[in-house]
Amino acid sequence: MSVITLSAAELAGRIQSGEVSAVEAAQAHLDRIAEVDGSVHAFLHVGAEAALASAALVDEQVKAGSAPASPLAGVPLALKDVFATIDMPTTCGSKILEGWRPPYDATVTARLRAAGITILGKTNMDEFAMGSSTEHSAYGPTHNPWDLSRIPGGSGGGSAAALAAFEAPLAIGTDTGGSIRQPAAVTGTVGVKPTYGGVSRYGLVACASSLDQGGPCARTVLDAALLHEVIGGYDPLDSTSIDAPVPSVVEAARLGAQGDLSGLRVGVVRELGGEGYQPGVRASFDAALQRLEKLGAEIVEVSCPHFEYGMAAYYLILPSEVSSNLARFDAMRYGLRVAEGASAEEVMAATREAGFGPEVKRRIILGTYALSSGYYDAYYGQAQKVRTLISRDFAAAFAKADVLVSPTAPTTAFPIGEKVDDPLAMYLNDLATIPTNLAGVAGMSVPSGLAEEDGLPVGLQIMAPALGEAVMYRVGAAFEASRLADEGALTAPEVAR
Amino acid sequence: MTAPVLVDYADVVARYEPTLGLEVHVELSTNTKMFCGCPTEFGAEPNTQVCPTCLGLPGSLPVVNRTAVESAIRIGLALNCSIAPWGRFARKNYFYPDMPKNFQTSQYDEPICVDGYMDVTLDDGSTVRVEIERAHMEEDTGKSLHVGGATGRIHGAEYSLLDYNRAGVPLIEIVTKMIPDTGGRAPEVARAYVTQLRDLVKSLGVSDVRMDQGSMRCDVNLSLSPTGSGVLGTRTETKNVNSLRSVERAVRYEMSRQAGVLDAGGEIVQETRHFEEQSGTTRAGRRKETSEDYRYFPEPDLVPIAPSAEWVEELRGTLPEKPWERRARIQESWGLSDEELRDLVNAGALDLIEATVAAGAPAGEARSWWVAYLTQQANTRGVELDQLPITPLQVARVVALVASGDLNNKLARQVVDGVLAGEGEPDTVVEARGLKVVSDDGALIAAVDEALAAQPDVVEKIKSGKVQAAGAIVGAVMKATKGQADAKRVRELIIERCT
């Protein structure tokens, strides 16, 4: 097995034992990126020099025999280009931030560095995390390693594709309405949206502040858990960060891998299983339920009647916050500036016209409208009420079940270009993932197999109450171990170059 | 534009009833900004007191300054407000280059302090109760300097310079309810309210409330209604009112101007006006084609402010004596006339004198030092009295040295000069400059004898009973001892030696 196909846990072990050096691991992944990223386009920026330098420090530590900075020291990682990095550009997939180098590191970036993790580069994304296909990146789409003519999901398609193409064993994403989980589902990888407040947002360029959450992406549940414990936990720089210990997700993942879920109740959300799901997705989900039952879990049906309003509420709250969060991109202090020499107002308007893509503009306009005086109560106000009702639905469901499950996305990866001009069709991708963001609870996507009709990966979504990540990881790991034993790993075909 | 027709003030008052409203912004003197750790010091090099958060860089997040919340609560309590047990910040969205995020983090419908009042005392001793609607927290914007163009404003400017040092400095906005029924005293009420509010906030130690430096800013809302009509008129909001005197003048001017418009059958336009310090007039701001829609919504990057009842009570316990109550007490105990008290207050000497008294000096001596010699020194140096590099404790020590006979008044001034020159504590200056009164008889007798020997004619006069002639000898001894002799003792010695 080559270095690039190892799991992060295995690779970390080999680095600590001295069998593989961190520099070799970094170089192997940099070579892989050089080899396939022309086709995949997962990365917007590769920081080879810094990556190798960081890896060399880990090797020194190994040589000196001192304790590793973290269980993932020396393991390479792909960072979504929405996190501030002092040594690399941070563009958020937007022209308006082309070439912008932040003067500071995001808390997540700083924690990765402190853990000795090798940051390979920054991954492609839908502009400012708005989209479900990575087609809304100003720098061109990312291609799904399973089929280069298809989308890798979004907004974090770059991070997910990097994992599936073995360009990195670990990645970081952000999830505002499904941007970690849906890409994980359509690339056959694992993606976790932690509890809101579980991972610091400091230095994460905001899409929608009350919904955004950074989280781990990996090829295995255990790897995601290891990364979760590195990036999670209280940050005094983020007022919405939860001042509580990170749930013991590594321990939970190890426990889950033993394959016993007896005594656990798994709730099937009636409202997330109806129409609109591709047959192969439906079938994979049904098989997943049988597998969970076989592992000892009790399957119960729960109803979350207000989930049907989730999409509508989401597309009022998100654009409202976006319209305000993105107001700062005005050419005055950083980023793109056009119409130099005109009045400040003209420069602002012209820069925003030139710098933002159509989806971003669409949401800014929607949000500006929804917050306008006279409309606020009917739109933003009502949407907040729906949000409360959805939280109550979750609370009631979690009284009956330890975790909830659904298909992560309604379809497998669709062809590039298919939905890019149909915003509503695009938005429906996130139907099943949006409720967890609205309620601030945790969710993850674990591969559940391939759809019969197109041979493309399908994801199982597992949701848990706020700070209930341990049970979520346990179920995810048990399901993964059982499926692997029966079906083997989901490995994308070798990328055509 | 034609010049406004101004109605004679007495005439305005005879036919119209003014309704006042005052919005005062107070810049808090916290060490750090409202939502980040940057310093707030006034007058630093442009754009040196900034960080990702107050520059609104992508990804940055705010964290509330606890001291600022504390200050807001203390101001609210001092204004007899209720403190909201739970409230959120809101975003006020509008584009302007000196606002880094293009929204201001403020409080909108959930202010931290509501429903208070302050009893304002007018010159004749009568009081008017001004009701406070709210006091809320917000962040200041940066500063723009528009270069070129006729107006000094952004429109027509050749270019603009931006300084973000002020961006994010904590502000408390204190808004009165409408103040009705002040009649012809509206300008005086406005001035008295702002004066008293300034003193109150200053006494809390939460702001230096310098209107000239912009750490206290006042907007004046004013409308007129025909007397007895009971119909509230349309109001104007006058900004840029940057001194106590201007507050009074702005109200007076707006009353005369609005009466002119109404008398001519015109309508008052609800608008923002700017006060012109030079002429004492107001001019209309740029007319907005559409009304500003700030699209307020709760700030999602901050958690609600929920001060516990215990904390609020703890802060209530820290409120000092009200400045006007304190003044009454001091006036009584020092036996000051109204005029004397006013002079002390105007000279900014009250706190200093009180502290000097507290350090052991008699009130009369303390007063005399601060209002005479030290005020003179402050004027010479062009600084405020409290900016002189001498403390009340040091003044009290000098007073004590005089009282004990170690210094005379002339020497005492030299000691004070030494302290002002940075030579250290009074005792150090005395030591270093050798300023102690010579009270050692041995040394004095030698000097006296020398002087007597030099002026035998004077000795004769004294001996013949003309004791007042001793003055000449005293002068000579003082000169010989460089002023360090105890003049009283010298005189005694002279008489002794001549009889």
Domain span at residue A130 reads 3-307+387-487
In a domain, A353, yes or no: no
- Of B310, B339, B358, the residue at which a domain comes to its end is B310
Domain span at residue B213 reads 9-310
Closest CA–CA distance from residue B302 to any residue of chain A (Å): 6
Task: Kindly report, residue by residue over B186-228, the tens digit of the pLDDT.
Answer: 999 999 999 999 999 999 999 999 998 889 999 999 999 999 9
User: A328 and B301: CB-CB below 8 Å?
Assistant: no
A80 has catalytic annotation: yes
Chain B environment of A323 (Cβ under 8 Å) = 93, 295
User: A344 and B103: CB-CB below 8 Å?
Assistant: no
In a domain, A345, yes or no: no
- Of B433, B451, B469, the residue at which a domain comes to its end is B433
Q: Are B448 and B458 in contact (CB under 8 A)?
A: no
User: A104 and B100: CB-CB below 8 Å?
Assistant: no
Average pLDDT on B232-236 reads 93
Task: Please identify among residues 57-76 of chain A the ones whose CB lies closer than 8 Å to any CB of chain B.
Answer: none
Task: Kindly report, residue by residue over B114-165, the tens digit of the pLDDT.
Answer: 999 999 999 888 999 999 999 999 999 999 988 887 766 777 778 889 999 9
B310-to-A73, B72, B81 alpha-carbon distances in Å? 47, 16, 16
Q: How many domains would you assign to chain A?
A: 1
In a domain, B316, yes or no: no
Burial string for A261-281 (b: 16+ CB within 10 Å, else e) reads beebbbbbbebbbeeebbebb
Q: Which two tokens stand for residue B19?
A: 């309704």
Can you tell me the ipTM of this complex? 0.96
pLDDT for res A496: 66
CB contact A240 to B (< 8 Å): yes
Same domain, B469 and B388: no
Which residue of A lies nearest to B292 if distances are taken between CA atoms?
A373
Instruction: State the helix-helix crossing angle for B487-498 and B441-454, rounded to 10 degrees.
Output: 60
Nearest to B59 among A84, A239, A345 (CB): A84
d(CA A497, CA B42): 61
Task: Kindly report, residue by residue over B246-282, the tens digit of the pLDDT.
Answer: 999 999 999 999 999 999 999 999 889 999 989 999 9
Same domain, B382 and B471: no
- Of B433, B450, B470, the residue at which a domain comes to its end is B433
Q: Which of A7, A54, A94, A179 is catalytic?
A: A179
d(CA B219, CA B438): 61
Which stretches of chain A drop beneath a pLDDT of 70?
Answer: 1, 274, 496-497
Same domain, B263 and B384: no
Nearest to B293 among A201, A323, A373 (CB): A373
In a domain, B36, yes or no: yes
Q: Which of A7, A80, A122, A132 is catalytic?
A: A80
pLDDT for res B426: 94
More confident residue, B113 or A427: B113
d(CA A155, CA A93): 10
Task: Kindly report, residue by residue over A37-48, the tens digit of the pLDDT.
Answer: 999 999 999 999
Q: How many domains would you assign to chain B?
A: 3
Pick the residue of B101, B102, B165 with the most A CBs within 10 A to test the interface with A by mutation: B102
In a domain, A223, yes or no: yes
Which ranges in A65-195 belong to alpha helices (H)? 107-114, 157-164, 181-187
User: A97 and B302: CB-CB below 8 Å?
Assistant: no
pLDDT for res B356: 94
In a domain, A318, yes or no: no
Same domain, B239 and B357: no
A122 has catalytic annotation: no
Nearest to B97 among A203, A240, A344 (CB): A344
A241 has catalytic annotation: no
Name the amino acid, one letter, at A319.
Answer: P
Window from A313-322, B380-389, B419-428, B432-441 with minimum mean pLDDT: B432-441
